[in-house]
Amino acid sequence: RRCAGAEGAAAAACTSQGMAVAMGGHKWRHFTSDHVGDGARGKAPNYDPIIQDRALIVRKKGLDLLHDPWYNKGTSFHYVERDALGLRGLLPPQEISFRSQIERIMFEYEKGIAHVAPDDDTVTPENIRRWILLENLHNRNEVLFYKILLDNFEEMAPIVYTPTVGWCCQNFHLIYRRPRGLFVSEKDRGMMSTLVYNWPANEVDAIVVTDGSRILGLGDLGVNGLGISIGKLDIYCAGAGFHPSRVMPVVIDVGTDNHSLLNHPLYFGLRRPRIEGEEYYEIIDEFMRAVLARYPNVLIQFEDFNTAHAGTLLERH
């Protein structure tokens, strides 16, 4: 079955053999008898045999699919595909085209990323080089990563957390490579109770969640705030004994008032001003109900929320 009217990015459908993901770039047309017939009903559209509907049969879902270099499309997965393939919440909320992904890689290829370090002595290009090395290790061998971090905790803590994590959050949309953490946004309203089941762990002991509104002393960083949740849990795993497979970093994207991010072509958060008022609390409440329904005994830490909301949220939850 095809999703009538789906364009560009594609749509997905279940088949008896697996998950069929259509990758075509042309518009799918749904034809009925109203489209053909005599002159009163209109002329039949031209048929082009060169245009073909192409689909890939994908037998993986969720993180297994995102970790497969053959089938992973990263942030260019359309929301129809995300729902069919169990990807909602595992990718940033903004769909980024394949062309934009190419631009991001070419930007780094030509200019690197260390050049965007702040002009002070707190985060140097050497700090960034070390962070990149550790993050690459984190992505391919977590056992070795945490062993090295534990054995060299005093030296490496400033690399995986402050001050280097501040640079990571400022540039998260540029350095993002591999999905890590849960993305929740306004687009997920009414679906969070199912979204949390896309997270692969059946048991979670600790969640660090932020809305990105006040990251360290850097202000509103929107969805980029996920970096602070990741860094904080790295410290908790190495320094407090939490098991890495039983922690969950989360960002709740309710927009941002940071215009430099909103105007950046590679920013992958919601491109809208920050949600406030009752609607804001309704989103946070739905998230809390969803995670506590699946993980009733989990420790939840609210990280770097704006002071206008922090006190109310602590009393509320």
Rg (CA), the chain: 22
Q: CA of 32: how far to CAs of 40, 64, 168, 232, in Å?
A: 15, 38, 52, 55
How many Cβ atoms from other residues are within 10 Å of residue 265's Cβ? 9
Instruction: State whether the Cα torsion 283-285-290-292 is positive or negative.
Output: positive
Considering the candidates 73, 161, 236, 280, report the single residue annotated as catalytic.
161
How many Cβ atoms from other residues are within 10 Å of residue 28's Cβ? 15
Comparing CA positions, the residue from 238, 242, 268 lying closest to residue 253 is 268
Task: Give 138-196 as a DSSP string.
Answer: HHH-HHHHHHHHHHTHHHHHHHHSTTHHHHHHHTHHHH--S--SEEEEGGGTTTHHHHG
- Strand 247-253 and strand 182-185: pairing? parallel
Task: Give 206-253 as a DSSP string.
Answer: EEEEE-SSS-TTS---GGGGHHHHHHHHHHHHHHH---GGGEEEEEEE
- Strand 18-22 and strand 11-15: pairing? antiparallel
Considering the candidates 43, 146, 147, 232, report the single residue annotated as catalytic.
232
Task: Give 304-315 as a DSSP string.
Answer: S--HHHHHHHHH
Comparing CA positions, the residue from 130, 154, 299 lying closest to residue 238 is 154
Question: Is 47 a known active-site residue?
Answer: no
Question: Is 71 a known active-site residue?
Answer: no
Show which residues are catalytic: 161, 232
